[in-house]
């Protein structure tokens, strides 16, 4: 069984969640169908890998968690990783999407047209991106309006991200609305992120 050690590492490294010893045995058995894979052999390699990544010259380590095995960054490098994560988080949503998300969070359930009335620009792209990222979801239709437009609201993922149980726990609008002419978005202040209102040209550039 050539490269058994490396194959076990690859299985654990490629998984987003902890991999159980049983799952590793099953995968390795399929990889080497001509051999009988004993759990004791896999256990031996797992222990070797655990010891291997304890060395100081590795920035990550193997841990036993939830009955399985998973790679984690060592505590000494958490700050470094958090910088990268922070940069990605900033890039994840555009200004336009953040503004649309703020409006939906405070005014939802709300239609796209109502969002556009507040922002003053088209929200098609922003709404699509927020749906893709599962920060908003369809909350039914506005039955009494022409065409019965779709209503949108924020998702449980949005609430989890901000550590709240409902939108009722968001800051009250009276506390966050800026004075007239100072970084306002219609009636809704941009409290999700401290950004300026984009122009229609910026919205078009975003869609390009």
Share of the chain above pLDDT 70, in %: 79
Mean per-residue pLDDT for 117-145? 89
- In the chain the domains, ranked by start, together with CATH numbers, are 4-77 (1.10.10.10), 91-207 (1.10.10.10)
pLDDT at 192 over 70: no
How would residue 196 be classed by pLDDT, with cut points 50, 70 and 90?
very low
Mean per-residue pLDDT for 149-170? 85
How would residue 193 be classed by pLDDT, with cut points 50, 70 and 90?
very low
Is the backbone peptide bond immediately before 4 cis, with ω within 30 degrees of 0? Answer: no
Q: What are phi and psi of 78, to 5 degrees?
A: -60, -40
pLDDT at 178 over 60: no
Whole-number pLDDT of residue 94? 79
Q: Round to whole Å and give the CA distance between 110 and 70.
A: 42
Which range has the worst mean pLDDT, 2-11, 31-40, 96-105, 185-194? 185-194
Whole-number pLDDT of residue 89? 58
* Bridge-based pairing state of the strands 60-65 and 68-73: antiparallel
Whole-number pLDDT of residue 169? 83
Q: Round to whole Å and give the CA distance between 60 and 50.
A: 11
How would residue 137 be classed by pLDDT, with cut points 50, 70 and 90?
very high
Q: Round to whole Å and give the CA distance between 53 and 35.
A: 28
Write the pLDDT tens digit of every residue in 82-112: 887 666 555 567 788 889 999 999 998 999 9
pLDDT at 61 over 70: yes
The SS3 assignment for 177 reads: coil
pLDDT at 201 over 50: no
pTM: 0.45
Mean predicted lDDT score pLDDT of the chain: 80
E strands along the chain, which residues?
19-20, 60-65, 68-73, 110-111, 136-141, 150-154, 184-185, 188-189
* Bridge-based pairing state of the strands 19-20 and 60-65: unpaired
């Amino acid at each position: 069984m050539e490269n058994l050690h490396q194959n076990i590492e690859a299985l654990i490294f490629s998984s987003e969640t902890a991999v159980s010893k049983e799952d590793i045995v099953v995968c390795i058995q399929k990889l080497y169908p001509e051999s009988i894979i004993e759990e004791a052999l896999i256990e031996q390699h797992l222990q070797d890998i655990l010891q291997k990544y304890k060395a100081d010259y590795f920035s990550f380590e193997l841990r036993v968690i939830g009955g399985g095995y998973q790679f984690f960054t060592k505590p000494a490098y958490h700050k470094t990783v958090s910088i990268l994560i922070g940069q990605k988080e900033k890039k994840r949503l555009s200004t336009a999407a953040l503004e649309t998300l703020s409006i939906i969070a405070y005014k939802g359930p709300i239609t796209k047209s109502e969002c556009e009335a507040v922002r003053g620009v088209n929200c098609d792209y922003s709404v699509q991106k927020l749906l893709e990222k599962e920060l908003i979801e369809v909350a039914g239709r506005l039955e009494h309006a022409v065409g019965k437009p779709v209503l949108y609201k924020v998702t449980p993922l949005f609430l989890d991200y901000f550590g709240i149980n409902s939108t009722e726990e968001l800051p009250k609008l009276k506390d966050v609305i800026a004075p007239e002419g100072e970084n306002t978005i219609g009636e809704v202040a941009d409290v999700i992120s401290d950004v300026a209102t984009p122009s229609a040209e910026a919205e078009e550039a975003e869609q390009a």
